[in-house]
Amino acid sequence: MAELVRDAIEVVIVIAVGGLLAAVVGRLRRGQVRVYRCAHCRRPTSRAYPRCRHCDLEQPDAV
């Protein structure tokens, strides 16, 4: 019985991860995912940090 519960949980997790991946691919195809780029070097960077990790420029709209 425990194996059946474990297998059912694994199936639910696989379906959830598959759904997340399908949603991300769909958003990418529709162009809804915007890559944040540095104002100076134009390389992709994180909005989580106030400075670009590539050129060390302070980002004007950093959070």
pLDDT digits (tens, 9 = 90+) for 12-57: 999 999 999 999 999 999 999 888 888 889 999 888 888 888 898 8
Domain ranges of the chain: 1-31, 33-63
pTM comes to: 0.57
The C-alpha angle with vertex 21 and arms to 6 and 29, in degrees rounded to 5, equals 165
In three-state secondary structure terms, 29 is helix
